């Protein structure tokens, strides 16, 4: 195995929704500038795990978390200001959720709340982010139009561009293509492939082929535990655990 | 079975069309009647001149102005407080006993008859403050009347904004307050505009709550005097200010002018036109605010 830098790591991470034990003793290491896929049946905790990484679970009052999450060796729950953390760890959601504003204002939203006011800097950030999200050519003539008028696939790439505008280091994606048609899905997958040159990407997906196509490493979640975490190649060709094999061959789940 | 459900569907459609038709017809007849009765007073002289005591030919200028000023002042008080209360209830209040009590109080307040609020205003804003009958007292009183409505409508408008948008904002590193200010409130504008229209209509039409608070007289107003501190200035909020609705009531019940009935009819027609105009203007403003925030709609 080549020795890569570890961007995110967890140490005996446990999460409870009230009485429900949703994550059990999670110890994983996520490598920098790689795509890590999280797979597993519905309700296995993979989305929940993803949301512990940028503390989106904090919004749910009944959640209790023990154990540690580290980003660049600093404790996410103790050593980061939540604004600073979310600036560095961006998130793309399952359904495209652009703000009901113009395309331009959607992208400029992040830079603006983080204090950038100068028009030329905002213009620059908007163009750069849209280019990086492979959306610039499609929307450059309609920057002032409402983002809700874009197609679903364009909206999702807009949401990715909106995240990139904040210049994060990690991008979390929660089933980003599950609401999209196959062509839009392919575009997003190509985009993810480009993005991993600069960003560490963690993606939750229900689509086995997608995980196989785009990820470097894959973690298989079941009942709140990580059953197996290895290189994507190994997981899909010769998984160690019987349960992983059953799942990826479609025998259950 | 299929035939039956289809004919039931048709019947229901027809019934609802008829009911909607009746409502529209009622409104049209009512407005038509008011405009028809007041038709010969729909002229600029009537709208702008002052009433003449005991003689024919008086207008409603000061009363109309007072109504408009009353709407403006009460909105100035109600909107910031109501919106803040709505934000609190939608975003900050945790489900608890105290929150339930607050909600209960708001609902109770919104179902109080306006004459009761008027008498409350008389006690507090007229007597206790020692202001006597003033526009400000009236504005505060109708604010008490309207606060629950605006609060409720702002809360609903904010709750109706999709939670996924709020999540997106927080995930970008925005604070809760930034999210409220830059995403939630602007997205709630259409709902808020509806609230403003409802409440301004109510201020225009309110008589009972203003009888004992803003008074049934208006000093001679000098429209060239724009110093809000001077007694004869129309802009002075601490002067008695009979509004149009109160004037209609007064003229109808104890008017001494020989053309009292005509004045009441004309004033009613003007009142209803003013309410319509206000609604239209509020909608236009709301739409342009929304357009400014959301960008041009690409689906025309």
The model carries a pTM of 0.84
Which secondary structure element, helix H or strand E, spans residue B200, and what is its range? helix B189-205
Specify which residues A230 forms β-bridges with.
A218
Residue-wise pLDDT tens digits, A1-25: 445 689 999 999 999 998 899 999 9
Determine, for residues A105 and B295 on separate chains, whether the beta-carbon distance falls below 8 Å: yes
pLDDT band at B2 (very low <50, low <70, confident <90, very high): low
> d(Cα A40, Cα A250) in Å, to the nearest integer?
11
Which secondary structure element, helix H or strand E, spans residue B266, and what is its range? helix B260-294
A54 vs B contacts (CB less than 8 Å): 171
- Taking the CA atoms of residue A207, residue A208, residue A209 and residue A215 in that order, the dihedral angle to the nearest 10 degrees is 100
Q: To the nearest whole angstrom, how far is the Cα of A160 from the nearest Cα of chain B?
A: 11
Q: Look at residue A221 and tell me whether its pLDDT is greater than 90.
A: yes
Q: To the nearest whole angstrom, how far is the Cα of B101 from the nearest Cα of chain A?
A: 22
DSSP letter for B41, please.
G
Contact A222, A44 (CB under 8 A): yes
Residue-wise pLDDT tens digits, B214-256: 888 877 878 887 888 777 788 888 888 888 999 989 888 887 7
User: Which of left, alpha, beta for B241 (phi over 0: left; psi -120 to 50: alpha)?
Assistant: beta
Determine, for residues B174 and A100 on separate chains, whether the beta-carbon distance falls below 8 Å: no
In the predicted model, what is the mean pLDDT of residues A188-217? 92
Residue-wise pLDDT tens digits, B155-193: 999 999 989 999 999 999 999 999 999 999 988 888 888
* DSSP codes, chain A: -----EEEEEEEEEEEETTEEEEEEE--EEETTSEEEEE-STTSSHHHHHHHHTTGGGGSTTEEEEEEEEETTEETTTTS-HHHHHHHEEEE-SS----SSBHHHHHHHHHHHTT---HHHHHHHHHHHHHHTT-HHHHTT-TTBBGGGS-HHHHHHHHHHHHHTT--SEEEEESTTTTS-HHHHHHHHHHHHHHTTT-EEEEE-S-HHHHHHH-SEEEEEETTEEEEEEEHHHHHHS-SSHHHHHHHTTS--
- Closest by Cβ to B173, choosing from A61, A95, A166: A166
User: What is the pLDDT at residue A175?
Assistant: 92
Compare all CA atoms of chain B with the CA of A91 and give the residue at the minimum distance: B171
Max distance between CA atoms of chain A, in angstroms, equals 57
% of chain A surpassing 90 pLDDT: 76
Q: How would you classify the pairing of strands A29-31 and A6-17?
A: antiparallel
Please state the CATH superfamily assignment of the domain spanning residues B38-299 in this structure.
MetI-like (1.10.3720.10)
């Amino acid at each position: 195995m080549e020795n890569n830098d570890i961007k995110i790591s967890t140490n005996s991470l446990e999460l409870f929704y009230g009485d429900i034990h949703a994550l059990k003793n999670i110890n994983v290491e996520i490598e920098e500038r790689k795509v890590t896929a999280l797979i597993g049946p519905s309700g296995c905790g993979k989305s929940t795990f993803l949301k512990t990484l940028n503390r989106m679970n904090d919004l749910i009052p009944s959640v209790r978390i023990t154990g540690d999450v580290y980003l660049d060796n600093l404790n996410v729950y103790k050593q980061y200001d939540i604004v600073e953390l979310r600036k560095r760890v961006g998130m793309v959601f399952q359904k495209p959720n652009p703000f009901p504003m113009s395309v331009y204002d959607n992208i400029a939203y992040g830079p603006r709340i983080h204090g950038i006011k100068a028009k030329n800097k905002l213009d620059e950030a908007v163009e750069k982010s849209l280019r990086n999200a492979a959306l610039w050519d499609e929307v450059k003539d309609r920057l002032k139009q409402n983002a809700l008028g874009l197609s679903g696939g364009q909206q999702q790439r807009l949401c990715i561009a909106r995240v990139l505008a904040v210049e994060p280091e990690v991008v979390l994606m929660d089933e980003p293509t599950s609401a999209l048609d196959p062509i839009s899905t392919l575009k997003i997958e190509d985009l993810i492939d480009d993005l991993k040159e600069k960003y560490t990407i963690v993606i939750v997906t229900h689509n086995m082929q997608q995980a196989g196509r785009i990820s470097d490493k894959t973690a298989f979640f079941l009942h709140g535990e990580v059953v197996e975490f290895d290189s994507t190649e190994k997981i899909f060709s010769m998984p160690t655990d019987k349960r992983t094999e059953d799942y990826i061959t479609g025998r259950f789940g | 079975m299929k035939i039956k459900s289809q004919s039931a569907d048709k019947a229901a459609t027809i019934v609802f069309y008829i009911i909607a038709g009746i409502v529209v017809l009622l409104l049209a007849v009512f407005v038509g009647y008011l405009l028809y009765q007041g038709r010969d007073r729909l002229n600029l002289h009537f709208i702008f001149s002052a009433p003449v005591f005991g003689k024919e030919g008086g207008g409603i200028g000061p009363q109309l102005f007072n109504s408009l000023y009353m709407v403006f002042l009460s909105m100035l008080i109600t909107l910031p407080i109501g919106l803040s209360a709505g934000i609190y209830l939608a975003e900050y209040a945790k489900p608890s006993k105290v929150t339930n009590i607050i909600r209960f109080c708001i609902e109770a307040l919104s179902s109080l008859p306006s004459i009761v609020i008027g008498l409350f205003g008389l006690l507090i804003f007229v007597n206790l403050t020692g202001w006597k009958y003033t526009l400000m007292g009236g504005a505060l009183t109708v604010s008490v009347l309207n606060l629950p409505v605006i609060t409720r409508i702002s809360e609903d408008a904010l709750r109706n904004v999709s939670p996924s948008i709020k999540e997106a904002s927080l995930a970008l590193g925005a604070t809760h307050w930034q999210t409220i200010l830059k995403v939630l409130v602007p997205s709630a504008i259409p709902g808020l505009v509806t609230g403003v229209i409802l409440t301004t209509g109510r201020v225009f039409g309110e008589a009972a709550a203003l009888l004992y608070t803003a008074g049934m007289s208006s000093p001679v107003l000098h429209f060239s005097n724009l110093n809000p501190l001077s007694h004869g200035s129309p802009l002075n909020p601490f002067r008695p200010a009979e509004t149009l609705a109160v004037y209609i009531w007064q003229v109808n019940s104890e008017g001494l002018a020989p053309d009292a009935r005509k004045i009441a009819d004309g004033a009613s027609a003007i009142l209803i036109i003013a309410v319509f105009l206000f609604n239209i203007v509020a909608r236009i403003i709301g739409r342009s605010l929304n357009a400014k925030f959301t960008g041009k709609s690409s689906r025309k």
